[in-house]
Structure 1
Amino acid sequence: MTDTLGTLTGLRFAKGHGTGNDFVLVADPDGERELAPEQVAQLCDRHLGIGADGLIRAVRSVHLPEGAALLGQNPDAEWFMDYRNGDGSLSEMCGNGVRVFVHFLINQGLAVLAEGEAMTIGTRGGPKVVSRTAGGYRVDMGPWEFIFPQQAREHGTDSLVEAAGLEVARPALSVDMGNPHTVVALADRGELARTVLVDAPSVTPLPPHGTNVEFAVPAEPLVTGDVGNITMRVHERGVGETMSCGTGACAAAAATRFWAGADAPDTWAVAVPGGTVGVRFFAAPDGREHVELSGPAVIVADGVLA
């Protein structure tokens, strides 16, 4: 890999995570420091850079075309989460990332948000309303939908997924959470542990913009105290396996809830290698069913590139 970090000497950054899904964060309020994909990839490299699943640049929405387009209908979306995958490619949205992003804004003195208050964040997956809680943040992730709705509703699945460690291709369901996900249900945690996610699973048919792939194991019993329970691993598009994925947890809950039928609960706990996040489905004022994601956000370090 060509060394590109020398061109970023003096860049201030922070390192944060949400249930182990980790990010390099850069404050660029006036949009003056566009980072090239190769620079992002090296910053996120765990041997040659700082190391992270992705990079988040905090920019005032008015300074990005995507952000400025949101402001007409969402004038409160002052800040835009410019999110890149660990390989430098653009991503629409990250559920863990948006919680860490808001925590970073507060940590940097760029925003003030008391417990119980909310703020709107611009993302490429649309505006997201983030509320501060006693234990972290909750995010209205907006509506969810099937990527292949006809196949999903007729057959309960819409694709086949192959992954190392699984002897045969498995049926799956593709869910749009503002970014694409394909969810596979496995029989037990042993099967989950044997699944190898070093390389990207093969998905047929592949959603138009690629997909993140979640492997989920429903608990037995599935529901305890009106809360559904899932254990999950994920291979993120452009990153590889990560310790957590917020939009992936929402997608896994949506798929499992659909498979479970009409009596399935609206509240879910999704265990990932980095911890547990909460997922809740609710009827929103826009008449659609939205998904809420809740969980912690942590800033672990800040520094300056030498």
Structure 2
Amino acid sequence: MPQTIAFTKGHGTGNDFVIIPDADGELDLTDDQVAILCDRRFGIGGDGILRVVRSAAIDEGAHAAEVGAEWFMDYRNADGSRAEMCGNGVRVFVRYLLEAGWAMLGDAPLAIGTRAGVKAVTSSDLGFEVDLGPWRVEPGDVLVRARGIGAPRPGLGIDVGNPHVVVALPDEGELEALDLTALPQLHPEPPAGANVEFVVPSDPLVRDGVGLIRMRVFERGVGETLSCGTGVAAAALAVREWAGAAAPDRWSVDVPGGTLGVRMPEVDGERHVLLSGPATLVYSGQVALA
């Protein structure tokens, strides 16, 4: 007899998720079950799964529970693979907690456990803002081959809790010409793979102290998505790195699904990257697990 579970569909700038409440950690979704739920023809459809589980209920949440994060975001890509973090996903996750009455968000940040550590979420003018923590620029270039842009291009590796490679393109024509139905090839291939962002700086790059860029992304384990929160942060960090010391610490990033904000303030003596944007719940229902 198939098991029937509750779900909610949500998205952050078009990056969409199947949210599954499992407070006590009773579900053990297989990769195939995740893939079917995320299938846009045979399932609910989504770029990934957000399982809402108490940190104390699963082994991966032990540290989060110790430091006071009640809830753990068990994020799975659309192919079933486990991912470290999802910037859009964590905002949608918080929206779900608030709507379900499982958490409150006041003056103090709400701590959410992830595989990339505990993330602090606050309210913002765009919706919610999540502190992704410190970042790391990876040494050396990665050569990126992508269908539709001809010769391979150099990419910069940026780690924001999960791995990214950012490629600069000269104009919007090349950005539009990209065919991201095919997996971009990375040389050398990062050990855990990477999300790949293709970025075009605006002209002028900075307006009223805010950097402006446009981006498309291929997410590992998913394909092209309308938005990628950590990818937006990585893209802004990469362009800031290329632009030099005079580059701003605030960025506005346009993706096919909307606009997200990025800040790079100093927190406890080190630079953090913060991502802000909307989070929307679309509908709820029940589904039978195959």
With the shorter chain as reference, the TM-score category is: over 0.9
In the alignment, structure 2 segments of 5+ residues that lack a partner are none
CA shift for structure 1 position 138? 0.3
Paired with 2:261 and 2:276, the residues of 1 have a C-alpha distance of: 5
The answer to whether 1:57 aligns with 2:39 is no
Q: What secondary structure is seen at the aligned counterpart in 1 of 2:175? A: helix
Q: TM-score, normalised by structure 2?
A: 0.97
Q: 2:202 aligns with which of 216, 219, 222?
A: 219
1:193-232, aligned counterparts within 5 Å? 193-232=176-215
| Deviation digits for residues 181-221 of structure 1 (CA, Å, limit 9, x no counterpart) | 00000011110000110121001112111000000000011
1:178 maps to which residue? 161
1:146 maps to which residue? 137
CA shift for structure 1 position 134? 4.5
Asked if 2 retains the 8 angstrom alpha-carbon contact of 1:280 and 1:291, the reply is yes
1:122 maps to which residue? 113
Q: What secondary structure is seen at the aligned counterpart in 1 of 2:133? A: strand
Paired with 1:210 and 1:281, the residues of 2 have a C-alpha distance of: 25
Identity of aligned residues (%): 56
Asked if 2 retains the 8 angstrom alpha-carbon contact of 1:244 and 1:274, the reply is yes
Paired with 1:71 and 1:61, the residues of 2 have a C-alpha distance of: 5
Q: Which residue type is aligned with residue 105 of structure 2?
A: L
Q: What secondary structure is seen at the aligned counterpart in 2 of 1:174? A: strand
1:27-106, aligned counterparts within 5 Å? 27-72=21-66, 74=67, 76-106=68-98
Q: What secondary structure is seen at the aligned counterpart in 2 of 1:77? A: coil
The answer to whether 1:299 aligns with 2:290 is no
- Number of equivalent positions: 288
In the alignment, structure 1 segments of 5+ residues that lack a partner are 1-5, 152-157
Asked if 2 retains the 8 angstrom alpha-carbon contact of 1:19 and 1:243, the reply is yes
CA shift for structure 1 position 71? 3.0
1:155 maps to which residue? none
Asked if 1 retains the 8 angstrom alpha-carbon contact of 2:153 and 2:167, the reply is yes
Q: 1:7 aligns with which of 2, 10, 13?
A: 2
Q: TM-score, normalised by structure 1?
A: 0.92
Paired with 1:237 and 1:91, the residues of 2 have a C-alpha distance of: 9
CA shift for structure 1 position 282? 1.0
Q: Which residue type is aligned with residue 2 of structure 2?
A: T
- Runs of 4 or more above 6 Å deviation: none
Q: Which residue type is aligned with residue 299 of structure 1?
A: L
CA shift for structure 1 position 64? 1.4
What RMSD in Å do the two structures reach over aligned CA positions? Answer: 1.1
